[in-house]
């Protein structure tokens, strides 16, 4: 189906569309934190790179990355149309993620990137182990699993 707008007008319209966050994935992550009694996190903490969750005392930044937007190796896909644009867009996203990781680690932060698919019931056990390693004290298992 052809577009009713010219290419320039469509570009102008689309440039005004702004992201509204990844609310569903963030709510799912909050549910995981609550399920495992993980406390001490904050959202919108003003840390470089805008992490989804920040554990300030532990200096841990948690990002919940969408499988499409951040090119998950397990679920990456490329739209059929306008492949050149999407390839550049997704490459820029990956480059920005690397920059954010380097900068935060350079400032003494731990960075944990969680893929969207890890929030499913099947991925939660592995995710909890990663959270425990990142947030817990070595050998102590600071986090506890609630039944």
**Closest to 100 measured CA to CA, from 47, 49, 45:** 49
Pairing assessment for the beta strands 60-65 and 110-115 based on DSSP bridges: parallel
Output the pLDDT for position 136.
Answer: 80
pTM, two decimals, is: 0.79
The larger pLDDT score, comparing residue 110 to residue 16, is at: 110
The larger pLDDT score, comparing residue 51 to residue 137, is at: 51
Looking at every residue in the chain, the average pLDDT score rounds to: 86
Q: Is 127 left (phi over 0), alpha (psi -120 to 50) or beta?
A: alpha
What is the distance between the alpha carbons of residues 89 and 58, in angstroms, rounded to a whole number? Answer: 33
User: Which residue has tokens 């969680």?
Assistant: 114
Output the pLDDT for position 140.
Answer: 46
Residues with Cβ within 8 Å of residue 147, at least 6 apart in sequence: none
Radius of gyration of the chain (CA): 18
Strand partners of residue 54? 42, 61
What is the distance between the alpha carbons of residues 33 and 22, in angstroms, rounded to a whole number? Answer: 17
What are the pLDDT digits (tens) for 56-74?
999 999 999 998 889 888 8
What are the pLDDT digits (tens) for 22-55?
788 899 999 999 988 899 999 989 999 999 999 9
Question: What pLDDT band is residue 19 in, cutting at 50, 70 and 90?
Answer: low
Q: What is the mean pLDDT of residues 94-111?
A: 97
Q: Which domains does the chain have, with CATH numbers?
A: 29-135 (3.40.960.10)
Output the pLDDT for position 147.
Answer: 32
The larger pLDDT score, comparing residue 147 to residue 132, is at: 132
């Amino acid at each position: 189906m052809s577009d009713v707008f010219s290419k320039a007008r469509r570009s102008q319209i689309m440039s005004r569309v702004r992201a509204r966050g990844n609310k569903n994935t963030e709510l799912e992550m909050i549910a995981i934190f609550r399920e495992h009694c993980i406390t001490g996190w904050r959202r919108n903490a003003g840390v470089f790179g805008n992490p989804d969750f920040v554990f300030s005392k532990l200096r841990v930044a948690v990002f919940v990355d969408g499988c499409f937007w951040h090119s998950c190796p397990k679920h990456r896909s490329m739209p059929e149309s306008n492949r050149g644009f999407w390839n550049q867009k997704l490459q820029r996203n990956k480059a920005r993620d690397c920059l954010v990781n380097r900068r935060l680690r350079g400032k003494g932060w731990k960075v944990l990137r969680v893929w969207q698919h890890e929030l499913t019931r099947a991925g939660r056990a592995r995710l909890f182990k990663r959270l425990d390693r990142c947030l817990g004290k070595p050998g102590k298992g600071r986090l506890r699993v609630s039944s």
